[in-house]
Structure 1
Amino acid sequence: MKTIVIQGLGEMGGSLAAALYHQHHIIGVDQNTDIINEACAKQIIHEGTTNLSAVAGKADVIILATPVSVILSTIKTLGQLVLKDDVIITDAGSTKQSIFEQAKITFDQQYITFIGGHAMAGTQNSGLDAVNPTLYQGVPYFLIPIDKQSKQNVPELKQILQSIGANFTEIDTQQHDDLMAMISDVPHIAAFALVNAAVKQLGDAQVFGQYVAGGFKDTTRIAGSNAKVWTDILLSNQDSIVDSLHVYTEALKEIEIALTNGNRLELEALLSRAQDSRQHLGEKA
């Protein structure tokens, strides 16, 4: 049994804690004491605190499950603390470039093992009410070693986290951020933008919302995500997202041109290409 400190008890961190609760000793860290008390009462964590510095030295594994901007400041804090010699620090941030840059600066010449982490899990919901101990089962969970030392410790981290039931995959930092930009970040931007466009053209959502059906609801579901959290995510992966947005807007332009020209063959070809690709999602190459 390991002592695992998890900072951030929202959907992602809380679900990790719940999934690991019966295998390890879980210490939760959150700035809200009510959340800590509720998490203890619900047997999501064994104990909790608002002060990471007070418990970090006990940890075999430290998981940073907060917004990227908070992860960056926490890494700086951890660099000033006395931690276990074999501690593993990992995160749940959706982008990695800025996190790795900070980790390399902070932990340079230190014994600390840092392994980036990111699971393709989660919903538009947030907080302890969204905690689900089965959230990670069967989902891709990226592990990104920062150097040769951390790469050697990836099997150990997999072993510690195995009870969450995720499919662990190693990937490099840039490949991860480019992938996330197109398959996660741009879809959220598209959902936010579609809702804003509908309001701009049709008026308040209470006016047209009573008429919307599955297509609009399904496409915009993730526009219900926390705006503050997603502002942080998008700004943390700015370059990759802008590149992916260019590709996305070019694809929209192709459809616009086909419609403007009344070009049935071109329009059907574009839609058929997307239909075929969509049907193969989830299949391994």
Structure 2
Amino acid sequence: MKALWSGTISFALVAIPAKLYAATEEHAVRLHEIHVADNSRVEHRRFCRSEGREIPYEEVGRGWQTPDGRVVVLTDKDLAHLPLPTKRVAEVLGFVRGHDIDPISYGQPYYVGPDGPSADRPYTLLVEALARTGYVGVCKIAIRSRERVALLRPRHGLLICQTLLWQDELREPGDLAPSAPVTDRELEITELLMRELIGVELRELHDDYGHALKQLVTAKVSGGELVEPPTPAPLADLMAALEQSIRAARAERGDQPPTAPVAT
């Protein structure tokens, strides 16, 4: 794997030369943009407004616009000398319990690898200490021209750098939460249904969008028709829906017939 960041992870006086690698990759199915009149591909070009012409990539730079409208050009050399310590050092600011971090803040995960033999012992020490205590390290790090707050956490003997969103990047939900009251009986039967459905084998789950898209394309080419899966209609009676769901879950496991009464 190609390293995306190299530098030092430090906590107190302990320094660990390290490199970061992408821990995930998306396998998205991408559709082409086309001109619907003739099905030809659509291209996106770099266009200079002032000169009214398309320009090559070699003429594209980056700049910062000041409040008075002036544009300050920033070259790669300028950005390389950016006075930002986190470009090369991810200093642990402190340790917190992992469960105290709201998952809504989670960003991108990266594998952290030791950079050289001298990093092996302190790297292993930090991973083992985090695993034993349940703590995660909080640091700041600059990756791909952006500084992020991040967590250092253990996973299968490795160190993971999990970036987080800044607090001002989290949106308030407003009044999305409903205020409808529920009864104790409804809560009991819902908790019973949850216990019947405990356990999901994530390795067996797959993205079916690509398969469905191929079926759609095949049908369009052959002139056939697709049969869309039925949309389940919710039962008007909430308790009846919960009890029927429990019976169905038990029947699927083979515990008892779906017509058996639901007992708590």
Q: TM-score, normalised by structure 1?
A: 0.20
Between structures 1 and 2, the one with greater helix share? 1
Q: TM-score, normalised by structure 2?
A: 0.21
Between structures 1 and 2, the one with greater strand share? 2
Structure of larger gyration radius: 2
